[in-house]
Chain A
Amino acid sequence: AQSVTQLDSHVSVSEGTPVLLRCNYSSSYSPSLFWYVQHPNKGLQLLLKYTSAATLVKGINGFEAEFKKSETSFHLTKPSAHMSDAAEYFCVVSGNTGRRALTFGSGTRLQVQP
């Protein structure tokens, strides 16, 4: 069984300040982990993924995430928020196979204030 918990449903930051979106997971397997971003009225777009290589993963648009096995966490960060980062972000865990190969978190809505 696997699960994902996104610890904040809403995060608000000022433009130019750091972003931290928190994600904890549980998995019976060695998981693959993903962050996706969803802009209004759009589908989900891959930001980055972790697949048991380097624990610090760099993604698009300056985002990165660190896989911490001891804490079962995969938090998403960005040093300096931009207005265009305002969107909903989903943390996703993937096991090996099966009908629930992907489990999505409930999402974190990021607001960026000018």
Chain B
Amino acid sequence: NAGVTQTPKFQVLKTGQSMTLQCAQDMNHEYMSWYRQDPGMGLRLIHYSVGAGITDQGEVPNGYNVSRSTTEDFPLRLLSAAPSQTSVYFCASSYNRAGDQPQHFGDGTRLSIL
């Protein structure tokens, strides 16, 4: 049982490039989400999904796209990378979106934009 798997673990991009961060979970969880972690700011929600085919914006969605074609996968796309998107990105999943559900986190993708 792998839990939440994120790839790649590290990535360096040039300004203007695009890329996709992959996230997969094997727990049949309905709810998946993407966060970015910046020093001294905790985690901020980028986008989330409550099931296949359903996504919505979080707190900081600009510059990112998501889709959810299957229950297992929830990729995050950077459309045109900017230095402000240098961060650590975490994918998380939970059984459903109820507020009392604990989140299961991947180990993160460390992204640097030059």
Which A positions have Cβ atoms within 8 angstroms of B?
4, 9, 29, 31-32, 34, 36, 41-46, 49, 51, 90, 94-97, 99-102, 104-107
Task: Give, as a whole number of angstroms, the nearest-CB distance from B26 to chain A.
Answer: 15
| B103 surroundings in chain A (CB, below 8 A) | 36, 44, 46, 102
Mark each residue of chain B from 90 to 114: 1 if its CB lies under 8 Å from any CB of chain A, else 0: 1010000101101101111000000
Q: How far is the CA of A97 from the CA of B102 in the complex (A)?
A: 14
Instruction: Give the residue name and chain of the A residue nearest to B10 (CB).
Output: A41
Is B58 interfacial (CB-CB < 8 Å)? Answer: yes
Name the segment of B13-21, B40-48, B67-75 touching the other chain. B40-48
Decide if B7 is an interface residue (CB 8 Å cutoff).
no
How far is A90 from B100 in the complex, measured between Cα atoms in Å? 16
Q: How far apart are the CA atoms of A42 and B40 in the complex, in Å?
A: 17
Known: A99-B45, A106-B41. A43 touches B106 (CB 8 A): yes
Check if B108 sits within 8 Å of A99, measured CB to CB.
Answer: no
A95 and B48: CB pair below 8 A? no
Complex: how many Å from CA A104 to CA B42? 6
Interface centre among B45, B58, B102 (most CB of A within 10 A): B102
Contact of A99 among B40, B59, B90, B102 (CB under 8 A): B59
A-B contact pairs, 22 of them (CB 8 A): A9-B40, A36-B105, A41-B107, A42-B107, A43-B90, A43-B107, A43-B108, A44-B43, A46-B103, A90-B43, A94-B100, A96-B99, A99-B56, A99-B57, A99-B58, A100-B45, A101-B97, A102-B45, A102-B99, A104-B42, A104-B44, A107-B40
A90 B59 Cβ-Cβ under 8 A: no
Q: Which residues of A contact B24 (CB under 8 A)?
A: none
State whether B99 touches A90 (Cβ < 8 A): no
CB distance from A63 to the nearest CB of B (A): 15
Residue from A9, A34, A100 within 8 A of B59 (CB atoms): A100
B108 touching A90 by the CB < 8 A rule?
A: no
